[in-house]
Structure formats: structure tokens, C-alpha cells
Amino acid sequence: MDRIQTVVLGAGVVGLAVARQLALEGREVLLLESADAFGTGTSSRNSEVIHAGIYYPEGSFKAKLCVHGRKLLYSYCQERHIPHKQCGKLIVATSASQVAQLASIQAKADANGVLGADQLSLLSATQAQAMEPALQCEAALWSPGTGIIDSHALMLSYLGDFENAGGMLALNSQFLSAQVVHEAGQTQFIVRTADGTELLADQVINSTGLIAPQVARQFAGSNLAQLPLAYYAKGNYFSLTGRSPFSRLIYPVPEAAGLGVHLTLDMAGQAKFGPDVEWVESPDDLSVNPSRGDAFYAEVRKYWPGLKDGALMPSYAGIRPKINAPHEKAADFCIIGPASHGVPGLVHLLGIESPGLTSSLAIANEVLQALKH
């Protein structure tokens, strides 16, 4: 049986960030990925937005790790020349009844530490339209700290750091099961992959995204009582044909399970709309139903009445790795380490949806701390 100090399961953006951090700390790290390339799941099917940390409950992992992670991420991108842009975003109230919600969003952002140069400011309709003439709204919040990023370039950089520090990436290596072994006062893990490989590891980090709750239940000999269930909220995207009239991101006031049908931009300035919220049974349900575009037109025209018929094309879909049911309040990131389950060297990362990409470097630091308990 091959021995390895640390095994990280899942080579999405968070798994890569975690593996990178552990390798930089001097650990011998093997990163196992079931697909034939890194970052092919949720990490490549999102809005590629660097979030400011606005909407999350005060004191939550999402709030703390997003605010801290954003600062780390901007610094990292500047150091490594990773394509990104701090373009900012407008959160728009499109009806009088929504204007009052802007104040509560601003207060939540302040409580989360989105302050200083990144602090949100309340704009009148006139002020918002001076920034974006095509916009229609009653009022808006300006978030200067929000940005966009080339997520593939980011993951490639994380991988480069990881491999330069001696880490190894094993593709086409599907996790099958694990056994917790206690011998001579030491806890280790027998990790099995689908091809019959068995590894003896001192530490295992489960960063398998959509299937992380399922993977966590395959650790025989660990406490499975506190593990949440997996739910899947698909987000469909539609792209805009032609040039975007906006140079900043436009978000409506948030709705249940998501942030509404918002307008985001890629690094080339191409606009896309989404994601919406469609609860599905399978994480493999990635088709975009063109008929959902009808609802997109109605929602987008609330803040951009100039959107022409036929201008939206079905683009792609991503799945949010939810750990709350559709009728339940949105769950926080669930980081379960030795301090809570009592197994030294084991960390499960569950429900790492948005703002997971923004928080990736901060999550890696959190895992490092969790392993010390």
C-alpha cells in the first residue's frame, strides 16, 4: 500500500487552493480528481465573479471567508498577473417597494466588514443612470469591491504553485471509500479509488463539491451523524448576442435561493444573464431549456427595458452544491474538522457554493487551522 502524508479529494478551485496551501506548508500532498481534467465541475460553470461579501449573515463562514478571501484573491491576481477586473457592481431596486431593502443590504455589508474603499454607497436613480445610461431603476447600491476573474487561469496558477511545491495531481482517480484506522495512538486513513488503488494517508480533505456529503458518508469509522444531505440548485445562463451596453455588473435585489437574474461580464466584455434557480434531482442535469429564456426577458427588462426580442441565447448551466432543501433557509459553508467530529486529520468541506471561488484562499487557511485541532 502506497503511503502519502495528505490526500485532497477534488480538484476544483477550492480543492486546488487547499492542496496548494498544504503543499506550501511542506506537506507531501496527493490531489485526487475523478475527471480527466481539473476544475470541470462547479468551478467552470459559474459567473466568475469576485464577490464583496454583501449578502451573507454576520459572523457566518460565507461572510468572513468571502471578505478575507477577496482581499487575498485580488493580491494574488495582481502578483501572478491573472486576468481580472475590479469593475464594480450596481444592486438595483426596480420598484419602490424594493428601495427599503437596499438599506438593509448596505447595513449587512457594513456588519460583514465591507468597509473603507469597498464600502457600499446608496445612489439615486439619476446617479446610477449617470454610470450606466441603459439602466432603469428607482435607486441602487454601488459596490466598488466586486470584480470578475478568469477562473481557469486562476486554477491553472493554483495548480502550478501546488506542483512547484512538490504536490501531485492524479486525474481519472475516482474516490471509492475510506477507512479510519486507529493504531498505536495514531489515526490514519486507508483511501480506496475505483481502479483498486489503496493509499495510506495521515490526513484527508474532502473537497468534492457536489458529491461531498455522499463522499463524507463513505468514511467508515467516523461520526456520520452530523452530516447534511446534498441538494442541487441548477443555475441557467443565457448570453447576450451583440455588444453589452453595460460596463459594470448589474444585480437585482436578491431573491430566494439566489441573487436574481443578474448581468455579468466576462474578461472580453461579453454579457451573460443568470443564474436563475431551478431545483433538480441530479447534479448531472446541465441542459439549458430554451423556454426558460421567456422568464429571463421579463426579469431583465425590469432593469434594462432596452433588451430586444431574440437577443438572448441559451449558454450553459451550473449546479450549486446546496446542503439545504428548497424550502429551507440558505445554509452556511459547512467545514467539519477534528474539533467537531473527533477524527484527527480529517476535514470535510460541504455546501461550498458561491462565494467559494472568491473565498478559496481563505478556505484553504481555514482547513490548515482545522487540521491543527
Would you put residue 110 in left (φ > 0), alpha (ψ -120 to 50) or beta? alpha
CA of residue 349 relative to chain centroid, distance: 12
> 259-266: long-range contacts (C-beta < 8 A, 24 or more apart)?
259/55, 260/299, 261/295, 261/296, 261/299, 261/300, 262/47, 263/300, 263/304, 264/47, 264/48, 264/49, 264/148, 265/87, 265/148, 266/48, 266/148
Which residues are bridge partners to 214 per DSSP? none
For 54, the 3-state DSSP assignment is coil
Please check whether residue 238 is in contact with residue 293, taking contact to mean a CB–CB distance below 8 angstroms: yes
Would you put residue 79 in left (φ > 0), alpha (ψ -120 to 50) or beta? alpha
Cα–Cα dist 56/61, whole Å: 9
* Domains, in order of start, for the chain: 2-45+152-228+330-370 (3.50.50.60), 89-144+231-322 (3.30.9.10)
pLDDT at 257: 46
Cα–Cα dist 170/41, whole Å: 16
Cα–Cα dist 205/147, whole Å: 29
Cα–Cα dist 34/152, whole Å: 18
CA nearest to 59, candidates 105, 112, 108, 110: 112
In total, the chain counts a number of residues equal to: 373
In tens digits, the chain (373 residues) has pLDDT values of 899 999 999 999 999 999 999 999 999 999 999 999 999 999 999 999 999 999 999 999 999 999 999 999 999 999 999 999 999 999 999 999 899 999 999 999 999 999 999 999 999 999 999 999 999 999 999 999 999 999 999 999 999 999 999 999 999 999 999 999 998 889 999 999 999 999 999 999 999 999 999 999 999 998 877 899 999 999 999 999 999 999 999 999 986 544 568 999 999 999 999 999 999 999 999 999 999 999 999 999 999 999 999 999 999 999 999 999 999 999 999 999 999 999 999 999 999 999 999 999 999 999 999 999 7
Q: Locate 188 and state its grid cell.
A: 490514519
Beta strands in 33-167 (DSSP E): 49-50, 84-85, 89-93, 121-124, 139-143, 147-149
CA nearest to 20, candidates 370, 369, 367: 367
Mention every residue, 6+ apart, whose C-beta is less than 8 A from residue 111: 58
Q: Locate 130 and state its grid cell.
A: 449617470
- pLDDT, tens digit, 9 for 90 and up, residues 249-284: 999 998 654 456 899 999 999 999 999 999 999 999
- pLDDT, tens digit, 9 for 90 and up, residues 222-237: 887 789 999 999 999 9
Cα–Cα dist 56/330, whole Å: 9
Running DSSP on this structure, what letter comes out for residue 81? T
Is it true that the peptide bond before 144 is cis, omega within 30 degrees of 0? no
pLDDT at 268: 94
Running DSSP on this structure, what letter comes out for residue 204? E
170's enclosing H/E stretch is strand 168-170
Cα–Cα dist 83/365, whole Å: 23
Phi and psi at 52, nearest 5°, equal: -85, -30
